Amino acid sequence: MIYFDHNATTPIDPLVVEAMMPFLTNFYGNPSSLHRHGRAVKTSIEQAREQVARLVNVPPEQVIFTSGGTEANNLAILGVANHRHALFGKTEHPSVAEPMACLNALGAKTEAISVDKNGLISADCLNEKLTDDTGFISIMYANNETGVIQDVPQLTELTKTKGITFHTDAVQAAGKMAVDFPSSGVNLMTLSAHKLYGPKGVGALIHDNKTELTPIITGGGQEGRYRPGTENVAAIIGFGKAAQLAVQQLEERHQHLHTLRAALEQGIQDISGLSIAAQEVGRIPNTTQILMDNIDGEMLLMQLDQKSICVSSGSACSSNSKEPSPVLAAMGYPRKLALSAIRLSLGQQNTLGEVAEFIAVLKAIVSR
Amino acid sequence: MIYFDHNATTPIDPLVVEAMMPFLTNFYGNPSSLHRHGRAVKTSIEQAREQVARLVNVPPEQVIFTSGGTEANNLAILGVANHRHALFGKTEHPSVAEPMACLNALGAKTEAISVDKNGLISADCLNEKLTDDTGFISIMYANNETGVIQDVPQLTELTKTKGITFHTDAVQAAGKMAVDFPSSGVNLMTLSAHKLYGPKGVGALIHDNKTELTPIITGGGQEGRYRPGTENVAAIIGFGKAAQLAVQQLEERHQHLHTLRAALEQGIQDISGLSIAAQEVGRIPNTTQILMDNIDGEMLLMQLDQKSICVSSGSACSSNSKEPSPVLAAMGYPRKLALSAIRLSLGQQNTLGEVAEFIAVLKAIVSR
């Protein structure tokens, strides 16, 4: 089987599973318990916190573990008090766009910032939307469908002296490129373990420890009261290990993915009517969004599946919908072309042989 | 090591770990993905949903998986619209009491219902608090500290014709006694996997599918939109297996725990100044809360820890506080006696030999 759907989720690195195993077996204590069985687990969680902190270059005190990226995005958006006027990118993940709609329903004014044909938010576009009332902005680091990287440090430059809280969803960026919280200029950043060879069920909100943040779940002292509930211990340990590996292997992973994607994009370029979204701008190195004249993306996905090749027709989260991707719509793609999109997202276990096989299969399907 | 802290958390049953392993290794797909790797995982999640549903005798459509009991309690309380007047027991877990305080801060009227000296809420006490405005009630099934079982079916009898939503936190009850959602009369019920030999990081809210419920986290279609975010797949599968085992082994577990606890309570009854909270009323069979004149519970916990015996001095969630347990305070225990409390919560791997050893160690410590 060829798995080209790493932006939906990644396999867990065997070293991560190995790190988790003791916490699924012998080290089962509740980290809040005062006895030795609890204390040992508590210590391990704090080590994992340091590992995750190092991924984005912050002190461990800035890491709030959550149940995943969706919860972290919700915590950032719903948890920052008093955003009179809130802005977010038009190509944000639903776990940003939907809580924004909730805020709106509660009386805050929320607005989506337009993107250009490459999915980029320009400083001008952001500037235009800023008002004296703007209190909160959420702009993703890298897009889940196209891989496009926003220039977050440039955008935060515009807002940092204005007392605006800036959040970025870095779920797709972390582990695939260097992400440095301090120099990014943001106040809050979302991470997820299962996009970087860690387990599902755990993420983090990185907090500058200055922004006032109200928990969305209450009822215990865990995670500095920002996220109560018995910790998902094994998953947190796994997240720590995955973060450590991502830091250690960043260069080689980056190089490997670049090589694979270059071969992929080179190999499909002569398919008639095929284009690649945002090909000319900076993208995370593993993602290629293909669009093709007169092709139904979901049908193509199913045909590839018959050949044991796993890809996505858009973001996995909206895969039950027959609407075209809102990301491609925001970039100005006409409906029919947007419905042809398939997303290839490569991973560290993929090989040049798999890329070649995919190219051959795709060409065979398209030529029919 | 002797582990008598099963109400804080349980070891994961080896059969549960075995069931989880494929989903930490080969079956890593995102259940929302349309390709075979996603569909296979989706099918397994639906099997786990059936297993959890059977634990409390509901159809699988009534199970909403959450990140744990704390989140499920928050979802029940914050997610039920328009509770003009909300009631909860005085001995509820903080993950019920704190969201109630949040509601209060948002303008709802919330009130705590008194308990008697055994921690029980009488029909009269509940009746007294009901007003025409009462829209929501949360009363736990079994208490985490004392093990006391509320008569939930009797209490729901009082409210069911009044259009009141009744929620119960059954985290400590499920797996230790038969819990039947339909005959309990509640509309919402909270469950947690890691209290019944399943993994941490997963729980469920059982929903009657009639009560209007607003999600507290938004941004995707998972769990019928009640709980978006990529599913914590391995943990959900583990929860399913743990629920299946709990159903299969309920009788023998119950018998085993009864035997152990009878030996325990028999063995300590001649310790001078010792009493057992709520000993005369119905309790889950694994829990004994001990109180002793002139003893500091936390000190005793540490001394037992030195002898490799793990117990709790109250609920694990409030173990960093030097306040007496609010549960014992609500039951009318004076502060000093309440601070002497230690909680013993037995589990299926415990033995009569461990009980005997504990009794001997406790007597040796107390006699000093």
pLDDT in tens, chain A (368 residues): 999 999 999 999 999 999 999 999 999 999 999 999 999 999 999 999 999 999 999 999 999 999 999 999 999 999 996 678 999 999 999 999 999 999 988 889 999 999 999 999 999 999 999 999 999 999 999 999 999 999 999 999 999 999 999 999 999 999 999 999 999 999 999 999 999 999 999 999 999 999 999 999 999 999 999 999 999 999 999 999 999 999 999 999 999 999 999 999 999 999 999 999 999 999 999 999 999 999 999 999 999 999 999 999 865 455 555 788 899 999 999 999 999 999 999 999 999 999 999 999 999 999 98
> Using the beta-carbon criterion (under 8 Å), do A95 and B229 form an inter-chain contact?
yes
| Residue B125 falls in the annotated catalytic set | no
CB nearest to B32's CB, from A12, A37, A317: A317
Q: Which of B16, B17, B34 best tests the A interface by mutation, with the highest count of A CBs <10 A? A: B34
Give the span between the Cα atoms of A49 and A37, in whole angstroms.
Answer: 19
Q: Which chain B residues touch A1 with a CB distance below 8 Å? A: 36-37
Same domain, B294 and B310: yes
ipTM above threshold 0.90: yes
Same domain, A211 and A160: yes
User: Residue written as tokens 């975010």?
Assistant: B229
Give the span between the Cα atoms of A270 and A265, in whole angstroms.
Answer: 10
For residue B98 the two structure tokens come to: 């704190």
Residue of B nearest to A21 (CA): B17
Same domain, A259 and A149: no
- Whether A8 and B38 have beta carbons less than 8 Å apart is answered as yes
Give the span between the Cα atoms of B50 and A69, in whole angstroms.
Answer: 27
Same domain, B52 and B169: yes
- Whether B149 and B169 have beta carbons less than 8 Å apart is answered as no
- Whether B313 and B202 have beta carbons less than 8 Å apart is answered as no
The range of the structural domain enclosing residue B331 comes to 2-8+250-367
**Domain end position, chosen among B245, B274, B300:** B245
User: Residue written as tokens 């339909």?
Assistant: B182
Q: Count Cβ atoms below 10 Å from residue B297 Cβ, excluding itself.
A: 24
> Using the beta-carbon criterion (under 8 Å), do A70 and B229 form an inter-chain contact?
yes
Same domain, A239 and A269: no
Work out the burial of residue B361: count CB atoms within 10 Å of its CB; fewer than 13 is exposed, 13-18 middle, 19 or more buried. Answer: middle
**Domain end position, chosen among A245, A266, A282:** A245
Task: Tally C-beta pairs within 8 A across A and B.
Answer: 266
> Using the beta-carbon criterion (under 8 Å), do B20 and A24 form an inter-chain contact?
yes
CB nearest to A29's CB, from B9, B68, B97: B9
> Using the beta-carbon criterion (under 8 Å), do A74 and B217 form an inter-chain contact?
yes
Work out the burial of residue B335: count CB atoms within 10 Å of its CB; fewer than 13 is exposed, 13-18 middle, 19 or more buried. Answer: exposed
- Closest Cα to residue A41, out of A16, A20, A10, A72? A20
Q: How far is A293 from chain B (nearest CA, A)?
A: 22
CB nearest to B74's CB, from A20, A93, A217: A217
CA B6 to chain centre: 11
Q: Amino acid letter at B27?
A: F
Same domain, A238 and A276: no
Q: Which chain B residues touch A301 with a CB distance below 8 Å? A: 34-35
Helix (H) or strand (E) holding A292: strand A287-292
For residue A140 the two structure tokens come to: 């993703």
- Closest Cα to residue B59, out of B185, B195, B201, B206? B206
CB nearest to B316's CB, from A20, A30, A101: A30
What CATH number does the domain containing B327 carry? 3.90.1150.10
Q: How far is A99 from chain B (nearest CA, A)?
A: 6
- Closest Cα to residue A244, out of A65, A59, A50? A50
Taking chain B (368 residues) in consecutive chunks of 10 residues, what is each chunk's mean pLDDT? Answer: 97 98 97 94 98 98 98 96 86 96 90 97 96 96 98 96 96 98 98 98 98 95 96 98 98 97 97 97 98 93 96 66 86 94 97 98 94
Same domain, B335 and B193: no
DSSP collapsed to 3 states, chain B: CEECECCCCCCCCHHHHHHHHHHHCCCCCCCCCCCHHHHHHHHHHHHHHHHHHHHCCCCHHHEEEECCHHHHHHHHHHHCCCCCEEEEECCCCHHHHHHHHHHHHCCCEEEEECCCCCCCCCHHHHHHHCCCCEEEEECCCECCCCCEECCHHHHHHHHHHHCCEEEEECCCCECCECCCHHHHCCCEEEEECCCCCCCCCCEEEEECCCCCCCCCCCCCCHHHHCCCCCCCHHHHHHHHHHHHHHHHHHHHHHHHHHHHHHHHHHHHCCCCCEEECCCCCCECCCEEEEEECCCCHHHHHHHHHHCCEECECCCHHHCCCCCCCHHHHHCCCCHHHHCCCEEEECCCCCCHHHHHHHHHHHHHHHHC
Q: Which of A7, A15, A24, A192 best tests the B interface by mutation, with the highest count of B CBs <10 A? A: A24
What CATH number does the domain containing B92 carry? 3.40.640.10
Work out the burial of residue B94: count CB atoms within 10 Å of its CB; fewer than 13 is exposed, 13-18 middle, 19 or more buried. Answer: buried
Same domain, A234 and A267: no
Q: End-to-end alpha-carbon separation of chain A, Å?
A: 23
Domain count, chain B: 2
Give the span between the Cα atoms of B291 and B58, in whole angstroms.
Answer: 39
pTM greater than the 0.90 cutoff: yes
Same domain, B237 and B277: no
Q: Which of A5, A6, A9, A312 best tests the B interface by mutation, with the highest count of B CBs <10 A? A: A9
Q: What is the pLDDT of residues B303-323, one digit of tens each?
A: 999 999 999 986 545 555 578
**Domain end position, chosen among A195, A214, A245:** A245
Q: How far is B343 from chain A (nearest CA, A)?
A: 12
Same domain, B144 and B269: no
Q: What is the pLDDT of residues A132-168, one digit of tens each?
A: 999 999 999 999 999 999 999 999 999 999 999 999 9
Q: Amino acid letter at B324?
A: P
Same domain, B229 and B288: no
CA A29 to chain centre: 31
Same domain, A290 and A352: yes
